Amino acid sequence: MTTMEVTPVEDVERACGTLLAAFHDSSANDFLNCKFQDVPLEETLASHSRADELTRNTIMFYVDRGAEFVQTGDYATVAIWTVPHKHVAVDRTKDERFNAVFLDESQRVKERVIPQGMQYYYLFMVGRDPVSAVKGSVRALFDHYIERANRENVALVLEAISDHARDVYEHFGFVNYNTFKYGAGEVDSNGHLDSNGDGHTGYLMIYLPK
């Protein structure tokens, strides 16, 4: 187990900078921000600054509502977690097809997989500064929350929005319980507008306490 400390964010701007850098070229993240903020997809394709603005809006939506905003490795890795008994309520979007896939089906899977009565932490976002030279910060973050999950007898839940992220989470003991498509008929797998596109692939992953 690593001894790198995980602490609450004190410098919000610096933490936002880490997450913005980590998701700067993530078309899947841009798509989700557009959906949850009811913004036309064309807006993020036209401007990186607009995409960054939407990401910042989403970060602060969670932080302002009491989610844990934490960092490790001198802001090398930053994460946002909602906590047991205090999850952040997210409104349904205007796209009911998206709601059915990303919200409703995910809720059914959580109810099926997580033992009745067990609470969970939800990892809304985690990002590593792509230019940081600090090693082990991602592991430190997950070791910290896995230890808490085991000690408190609660689960950890997240959605991976890339194959690489899925593989990383599997390495830390998360299991993929639902592979799903979102954005089909709107974008291709690279996030470009395409009425015949396959959309993005997501993975609902859960860690159950040991």
Ordered by start, the domain boundaries in the chain are 6-154
Tens digit of each residue's pLDDT (9 = 90 or more) over 139-169: 999 999 999 999 999 999 999 999 999 999 9
Distance, C-alpha 26 to centroid of its chain: 12
Indicate the pLDDT class of residue 42, thresholds 50, 70 and 90.
Answer: confident
State pTM to two decimals. 0.94
Distance, C-alpha 114 to centroid of its chain: 19
Question: What pLDDT was estimated at residue 2?
Answer: 45
Sign of the C-alpha dihedral, residues 18, 179, 57, 192?
positive
Please name every residue paired with 70 in a beta bridge, in sequence order, or none if there are none: 8, 79
Tens digit of each residue's pLDDT (9 = 90 or more) over 54-94: 999 999 999 999 999 999 999 999 999 999 999 999 999 99
Q: List the structure tokens of 155.
A: 């689960």
Identify the burial level of 18 via C-beta atoms within 10 angstroms of its C-beta, where 0-12 means exposed, 13-18 middle and 19 or more buried: buried
Tens digit of each residue's pLDDT (9 = 90 or more) over 110-123: 999 999 999 999 99
Note the helical H segments in the chain: 12-22, 27-36, 42-46, 48-63, 96-98, 105-113, 137-152, 163-171
Lowest mean pLDDT among 12-16, 39-43, 145-149, 162-166: 39-43
User: Is 6-154 a domain of CATH 3.40.50?
Assistant: no
Indicate the pLDDT class of residue 199, thresholds 50, 70 and 90.
Answer: very high
